[in-house]
């Protein structure tokens, strides 16, 4: 389903747009890391709200982040992805699945593209995954948020085993 697309990564290199299953695999990896980041954020945010700012709390009732805490949580999520995408185009999950996010010319993404992609990816997911499923019918294999953010997720070639074997075996 994914059609090769040439990028500016190398004059002779052709890469393919990532399919749905690879994208989902990377999302599972990233969701585990993001969950840990959000748990840390939530702990810090609740500590600041209830211990430092002394927000009222009834014993036995659940603590809430509130509107400001929720908005800051969204900033943390967008910051998480933007940090990785702008520093090499890969989150940890994307590295594991040999994926990279690039703009539609094959170059690194901008902060505006990262933010746009995060917002539209959320919408793609919220609409029952329809934006993600779009890559199954798109002629280039791109999801809806790829088009809307002018980005694409490409599959990186497998590393050359001959080069990696010889490089790490020498001892000095």
The stretch 23-46 carries a mean pLDDT of 97
The residue count of the chain comes to 172
Please indicate, yes or no, whether the overall pTM of this predicted structure exceeds 0.75.
yes
Gyration radius of the chain's alpha carbons: 20
Q: Domain span at residue 33? A: 16-157
1-15, 40-54, 103-117, 144-158: least confidently modelled range: 1-15
Residue 169 lies in a domain: no
In this prediction, residue 12 has a pLDDT band, given cuts at 50, 70 and 90, of: very low
Cα-based torsion angle of the residue sequence 11, 15, 140, 83 in order, rounded to the nearest 10 degrees? -100
pLDDT score, position 55: 87
Residue 44 lies in a domain: yes
The stretch 147-151 carries a mean pLDDT of 98
Contact by Cβ (8 Å): 22, 136? no
Q: Is residue 88 over pLDDT 50?
A: yes
> What six digits make up the tokens of 96?
């594991």
Residue 105 lies in a domain: yes
| Chain Cα centroid distance, residue 46 | 26
Residue 82 lies in a domain: yes
Mean residue pLDDT across the chain = 89
Residue 20 lies in a domain: yes
User: Angle, nearest 10°, between helix axes 66-86 and 20-47?
Assistant: 130
The stretch 131-140 carries a mean pLDDT of 96
Domain tally, the chain: 1
Residue of 155, 141, 151, 147 whose CA lies nearest to 112:
151
Residue 38 lies in a domain: yes
Residue 100 lies in a domain: yes
Between the two ends of the chain, the Cα-to-Cα distance in Å is 47
Residue 1 lies in a domain: no
């Amino acid at each position: 389903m994914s059609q090769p697309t040439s990028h500016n990564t190398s004059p002779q290199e052709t890469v393919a747009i990532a399919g749905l299953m690879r994208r989902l695999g990377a999302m599972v990896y990233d969701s585990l890391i993001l969950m840990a980041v959000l748990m840390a954020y939530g702990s810090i945010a609740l500590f600041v709200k209830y211990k430092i700012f002394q927000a009222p709390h009834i014993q036995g009732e659940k603590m809430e982040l509130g509107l400001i805490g929720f908005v800051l949580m969204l900033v943390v999520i967008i910051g998480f992805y933007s940090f990785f995408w702008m520093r090499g185009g890969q989150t940890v999950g994307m590295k594991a699945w040999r994926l990279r996010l690039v703009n539609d010319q094959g170059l690194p993404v901008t902060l505006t593209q990262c933010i746009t992609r995060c917002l539209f990816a959320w919408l793609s997911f919220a609409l029952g995954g329809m934006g993600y499923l779009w890559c199954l019918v798109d002629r280039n294999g791109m999801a809806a948020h790829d088009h809307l953010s002018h980005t694409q997720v490409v599959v990186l070639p497998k590393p050359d085993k001959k080069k990696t074997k010889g490089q790490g075996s020498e001892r000095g």
